[in-house]
Structure 1
């Protein structure tokens, strides 16, 4: 009989939903667990707010997504739904609260737990392991479910500065006792959590992985200077897409640069305005949203990937660029500190700082061709260590041992 994993999350892909600021990270793990022989049931506790909030998200669209990291569903969908993706069984259940960034009512949590247990009974699914991504609102849920099923439990933290005392009250510490192991999406998240709540007895790092087929075998070949840059991501405020262009503009003026933007968002207008008003000598292309195959093609056409955003939990796109052998520039202190070693397999820049970025680009272009190739080769090897299969195995080992 297969061991069974119950995964609770507030963010999960759903084909019939228009999701803003979403991520597929939980599905990447779940489908790898299925491949490893586990039976996986996902409970997608998707947030449903007051109708005006969804109307706001629908009307403002890209602007709402650009404001921050809040996760929006543009339509208020109240129905439960069951569906399957890549062998993973998903059950979507609405989780009600009035507005984002406020506590879920205790009665709502109780109701959600009852809904989950009823669904699991109907499916004859008794979990051996219960995992939750996003500590809140799942801490209380997972503590109650552990008592019901006597399963091993884990919670993976995605954000810093969790307001658990505000949302849950002093009883949060009692719920902590029901969590067997804690996961952290980055070193900074772990450090912040431990400052607030102390070092937990058992923990692990929960990094994302890149598909093995994305990883190339040989490093890039470079000329004396790197001039072909690419940005892949939403064109939203916290990712500073315009600062990338401004930084390249401020680098060595004797070189002819090109920059490709892959992605869409409200900041596109600022980029277009800059291109019209500035004395810009850079060849810029705004490609919009592309398929995964087309994104890989654009990465292969470039030499250097840049994204100097803030508020990143873990930027999988950095690993994808490294897997293709690109020289990669990431934000310091924003989720990639565990992965990138400055000057060895990539480079760091201060978030949103075009002057700093210009200096990093000039620094790279002062390196020899051999040094650039060494960094490219190291980037590929790093990506190999963080393949989706490898990180899923590490995750499984952490929660099942």
Structure 2
């Protein structure tokens, strides 16, 4: 099968680390038995297109990637007569896949013009920001055109179908999977989760790009609210525009001595930090999925995520982790107290459930599930 994906959720250059991009994990698995192309559009004013700057192209683990400038919300037929249409003619894909916002709309336009089956991958951002960015009518038309919809998590699926219940028969969750290379064995993981927490600092880690939606400030306020009742230390792995503000907040809350900001870490170093931590906390919202939760569980961390966001449904409250409202420091503080007070039996139960969860969510299984969605779209388009 020839697959063409449109998305900007992909490495910007050949030298980028592909392991941090969830969509590339799908594509590199598909490329083992299929031909896969990724068009990485980026919006630009129309006048820049007249300069005819050549797109950049490279191959990444068997996937052909092309970055190309497009005008924002093209509305005229001339747009499709240029470079992108020549790409379509050369590739002649069997199915189009669009991911996130403008790329979803662009994929729908190209699929309609070329009479191709369309898979519309739905992210949390499409439901939260899509009506403002694309317009409610345009967004609904894309969903109605799609042969199959692929919400990227159970939480996204619930929100999508609550809003558009008529789409249920064409909707199937395209969850992400874990690249388990370099992680501990199952037995070591369970032993890691069963280490006693009493009598030593609770070792907590969060790993993300430091933006407002990650709610790292909520984590800091929750930890400050614990007072002296719990001994803890926090690693904040990542960088971003919020880092300076978060560092100042830690000082203001009087917890700076127990919080370490590492900056951006290579994947091997992040795995080392995860393997030494006991608890991973990230209550981000809106969040489509959050592959780092699976990385943390695989490395031996208990996990706290945000209720009704991307990881809700994978993490099940008090079974293989905890869920709490994303903007509530008091609720998060209550969860942290519960974690600190866990007995051995509870830790063992959490360890077993966490192991079952991670074992089922492999990269290969996730890619196979998503590929089945693409096949369903192709079959539906042939009827």
Which of 75, 82, 98 aligns to 1:106? It is 75
TM-score scaled by length of structure 2: 0.84
Secondary structure, counterpart of 1:313 in structure 2: coil
Structure 2 partner of 1:191: 158
Could you say if the C-alpha distance between residues 332 and 173 of structure 1 is closer, same or farther in structure 2, counting changes exceeding 3 Å?
A: closer
- Picking from 354, 367, 378, the partner of 1:392 is 367
Contact kept in structure 1, 2:104 and 2:142, CA below 8 Å: no
Contact 1:212 1:384 in 2 (8 A): no
Cα displacement string for residues 109-131 of structure 1 (whole angstroms, at most 9, x for unaligned residues) = 7515743220233xx42212221
**Deviation (angstroms), 1:266:** 3.2
Query: Aligned residue pairs: how many?
Result: 361
Residue 31 of structure 1 corresponds to which residue in structure 2? 28
Q: Which residue of 1 aligns with 2:353?
A: 378
Cα distance in structure 2, aligned partners of 1:257 and 1:113: 60
Q: Which runs of 5+ in 2 are unaligned?
A: 377-383
2:7 corresponds to which residue? 9
Say whether residues 1:131 and 2:88 are aligned partners.
no
What TM-score do you get using the length of structure 1 for normalisation?
0.80
Specify the alignment match of 1:156 in structure 2.
Answer: 121
The 1:155/1:135 distance shift into structure 2, 3 A limit, reads: farther
CA displacement at 1:6 relative to structure 2: 1.1
Higher relative helix content = 2
Deviations 1:196-243 (A, max 9, x none): 444223111011111022364121232143711001012222212232
1:44 is aligned to: 40
| Structure 1 residue 47 displacement after superposition | 2.2
Residues 281 and 194 of structure 1: CA distance in aligned 2, closer, same or farther (over 3 Å): closer
After superposing the two structures, state which structure 1 stretch, 267-276 or 373-382, moved more: 267-276
RMSD, aligned α-carbons: 3.0
**For the structure 1 residues 365 and 276, does the alpha-carbon distance in structure 2 shift closer, same or farther, using more than 3 Å as the test?**
closer
Unaligned runs of 5+ in 1: 52-76, 98-103
Per-residue Cα deviation, 1:137-162 (whole angstroms, up to 9, x for no partner) = 434643543552x5432110112146
Q: 1:168 to 1:283 in 2, by over 3 A?
A: closer
Q: Which has the higher mean CA deviation after the structures are superposed, 335-344 or 365-374?
A: 365-374
User: Residues 137 and 299 (structure 1 numbering): CA distance in 2 closer, same or farther, change over 3 Å?
Assistant: closer
1:244: how far off?
Answer: 1.4
Aligned twin of 2:262:
287
